[in-house]
Structure 1
Amino acid sequence: PVPLPDETIAARAAELAKVAEAAVARAGGEKPVYIIGTEVPVPGGALEPLEHTHVTEPADALRTVEVHRKAFSRLGLDGAFDRVVGVVVQPGVEFGNADIVAYATEKATELVTVLERMPQFVFEAHSTDYQPAEALGMLVRDGFAILKVGPWLTFALREALYGLSHIADELAPDPLRETLPAAMERVMLASSGNWQKYYCGTPDEQRLRRHFSFSDRIRYYWLAPEAQRATGAVLAALGDREIPRPLISQYIGHLDVEVGAGRIRPTAHGLLLGSVTRVLNIYRNATNQ
């Protein structure tokens, strides 16, 4: 959809801040800090071809700050605006169904220089999922100190769950237990609202994307009762037993090194936690420079 005018976005942000300020005044406690932005992308990854990914123009970043400053001031929120700490911008990173655009510091040089004129702020970078660790580190060093991550975490959970389903078939075979991918396929086909407009292509391409897309629309289905039953059956089959490393290497290979180093317990529960924690640690390392 066509974005709303900057002034409308800023006015709505100021209205939200006014409510937040009033709530804190009633309840007490530490006053909030805020992040503003007019270039917040569509959640869940790009729908358009990734070759069109752009970097925010420096003038647009400055304009975002100015229109928000005026909107806050009109509502008597100058003190609240002093607690705005971040501005959402596009540093040129994005992901789609099967593609990732990695951060290139040279493409964001002009945008980064704007921070010298806005010492109050850092940048927030959206859609940083699946970025190489080195790219996340460069983003932070360049001033994109707040890194937005979402689908990568649930993608990592899905990787581990599907791997455990395969492992359960090897360690505790049961012809009556439906595989987790098969169960999730039924769940998603029965309720297509959360994936259909995101996954175009042939039926085979849509099927692959339902399960394996970086956009990870499957994340909206894990709480469905049938998905919960299928997941529970896999976890019950494995219980608390230690899973042999060769099976971990085969089906959840990205965790094998961590298991070997003793940082992840080789149980179903440990592997699920470890898969998500592995991603969080990448971000922790990038932002703790």
Structure 2
Amino acid sequence: MASDKRISLRIGSGLGAWLPILFYAMAALCLMAVDARFSISREIRNRTSMLASPVWWLASRPQALWQGAVAALSTNDGLRQRIEVLEKEKLKTDLTLQQMLAVQSENAELRKLLMGRQRLAPTAHVVELLNINPDPSQKRFIISEGARQKVREGQVLIDANGLVGQVAEVYPASAVVIGITDADHAVPVMVARSGFRGVLFGQGSDNRLSLANLTPSDDVKAGDILLTSGVGGRFPPGIPVGQVKAFRQDPALTFISAQVQPFARPRYGRHLLLLDVLPAPAPGPAAAAMAPAPDPVTGSKP
């Protein structure tokens, strides 16, 4: 009897344990059927996701902030490197552009010199300007050719615009040129319009010459072009020298002086044109007896 009771209790207890499972299974089936018919779970999911969105956003913020900081740092570092590369490329480009502009300017200068050569002296040749005397009162230049290239004292130099000066001293590898604006220099000139002849004196200024000892009856006007007259045989005739700008009269004197602006601009170029025409020999053996000074470039004597 006792054993039958234990068997019945075991059976009863087994059925009791399965009842909740069966209940939940039936409820699940019912809910699935209702959801399939009325789509209730979709609405529940939508409302639940709306309520959970702030929680998800807050939970994702640390990772998003970290990723944003890493991306920003990487972007800034990349931009800095790119800027450095672009700055270096810009420097190289600027240097190349400056070199191209210098070459272009030099080519234009050489073209003008060659045109002047064809117009004035077919046998002239181009020389390089090595140095300019820093003393503002002396307008002296050093050119790249000397006695070895058969340069002689008195040879005339021009640039693309007009008369520059003449060779004053010759050394083995260089020569000193005295400019027409030097205070110790004078050039016989003529007015291209009227043919009037006079002497043009340097004033020690790059932009001013003086045509002195004029009288009111002399046919010289503002704007007249002055050319070398060829008088004295020192300068070939017809080389442009300058233009008359104004007149000035000393109250104590009866003479008038014309202020002339020279055409040549040797300080703005690297090359000059040396005319191969030799001047007339100077009288007297005193100059030939003088010993030459050392070459300012090589330190040697001719």
For the aligned pair, the TM-score class normalised by the smaller chain equals: under 0.3
* TM-score of the pair, normalised by structure 1: 0.20
Higher helix share: 1
Structure of higher CA gyration radius: 2
* TM-score of the pair, normalised by structure 2: 0.20
